[in-house]
Structure 1
Amino acid sequence: MISSISGIVKSISLNSVVVEVGGVGILIQVPNRVAISLSAGATASFHTYLVVREDALILFGFTDLIDRDFFELLLSVTGIGPKVAQAILSGSDSATIATAISSSNLKTLESFPGLGKKGAQRLVLELKDKVAGFASKNANKSLSLGNQVENALQGLGYSAKDAASMVSQVLSSSGKENLSSSEILKLALKNSGKE
């Protein structure tokens, strides 16, 4: 399975991007909120999930590891396929969706394209006990630390997209959950080769 891809964004459409890696353009399906945040010619990193079909191999990508993990959790729900899961994550981030599921907020869930009333009820029924980690304070703490480091990197001259990618890369590494913002910043700079 292909778990991540980094390369130069060659083209962007509403729900997909083409990323060039080693001279090969790879089509990656992304939530539209991710596509909107990218620019052609910039370097980007994606955490990916490969869907194997009889007639196609489809790669879904996320700039945040938490969103990719949540995408996989959504796929475990009866009747939710990759396109609907992608549409759900296009509407909001995983923490907001997880909070809506854990609080049984059907109105919010029904607002996502392709879900409807029965789909929202099924999400709550099947995932209510499984989404606690996505809506937990630790996830929010990680995100706020990440935002602090992104702001610091932008102050050092990195673009918002590069800063987000650098922080995401550090936070997605195993064993990096309890780092301080200064440690995350040092690792991000070290990984970029500019420490």
Structure 2
Amino acid sequence: MIAYLAGTVRSPRADSAVIVTAGVGRQVFLPPALAAELSEGREVELHTELVVREDSLTLFGFDSADARAVFQTLLTVSGVGPKLALAVLGVLGADGLRQAVGTEDQAALTTVPGIGKKGAARMLLELAGKLPAGAADLPLTAGAPVMRQAADEVVDALVGLGWKQAEAIDAVARARERAPEAPVPALLRDALKILGGRL
């Protein structure tokens, strides 16, 4: 089991990065907001979860033990695989998911691409009382986000989460109007809120 990874970022993308440790590069899939903060050559520490399937070994990375624990819990829900669990964290975050489950907010869950009303109802039922309470540890990757071509990065991240490119472009444009100088993570958060009808 690979539970923690510290190394140098190589080939960062909208949904993943290669983390080089001791000369070995491991591809790690990440929530979009975290992926957007990583840049080539940056030193990073991640809490990781290795998902084993019959035909693959896939590594997922998170900036806190709390986010990893929520991801692990999401994988216990019937019909929720790693990609959908990552999308839930990308759209709602660990605290947002806790709030949605605690208030039985089905509408919040349906803002995640791939989750309809039936899926949201099932998730609320299966996650009730199971989500970790939250951790006090600080994110391992805390620090100033790296400025890149923010709009393109965020559009790619949103498309990776399941939105159509036209929807993503429109949401990013509206978010950019609200905060012209916003870095990638802030722009992504605002775009997600716009797509979820919360802005």
Above 0.5 in TM-score? Answer: yes
How many residues are matched?
144
Computed over aligned residues only, the root mean square deviation of the Cα atoms, in angstroms, reads 2.0
Mapping of residues 61-80 of structure 1, within 5 Å = 61-80=61-80
Judging by fraction of residues, say which structure has more helix: 1
2:91 — aligned with what? 91
2:17 — aligned with what? 17
1:117 — aligned with what? 117
1:37 — aligned with what? 37
Q: Deviations over 1:128-182 (max 9, x none)?
A: 2223614xxxx5xx37xx49xx6xxxxxxxx436xxxxxxxxxxxxxxxxxxxxx
Q: Does the 8 Å contact 1:102/1:131 carry over to 2?
A: no
Tell me which amino acid in the other structure corresponds to 1:71: F
CA distance in 2, matches of 1:116, 1:7: 38
The structural deviation recorded for 1:49 is 0.7
For the pair shown, which has the larger CA radius of gyration, 1 or 2?
1
Aligned residue for 1:77, secondary structure, equals coil
1:176 — aligned with what? none
Aligned residue for 1:41, secondary structure, equals coil
TM-score, normalisation: structure 2 = 0.67
CA distance in 1, matches of 2:116, 2:17: 28
For structure 2, list consecutive stretches of 5 or more residues without a partner in the other structure.
Answer: 146-199
Q: Deviations over 1:40-95 (max 9, x none)?
A: 11101111111111221100111111000000000011111111101111113201
Q: Deviations over 1:11-60 (max 9, x none)?
A: 11111111111111110011111101112111011111111112211001
The structural deviation recorded for 1:5 is 0.5
1:170 — aligned with what? none
Aligned residue for 1:88, secondary structure, equals helix
Q: Does the 8 Å contact 2:46/2:62 carry over to 1?
A: yes
Percent identity (aligned)? 39
Q: Does the 8 Å contact 2:66/2:132 carry over to 1?
A: no
CA distance in 2, matches of 1:20, 1:111: 34
The structural deviation recorded for 1:118 is 1.3
TM-score, normalisation: structure 1 = 0.69
For structure 1, list consecutive stretches of 5 or more residues without a partner in the other structure.
Answer: 151-158, 162-195
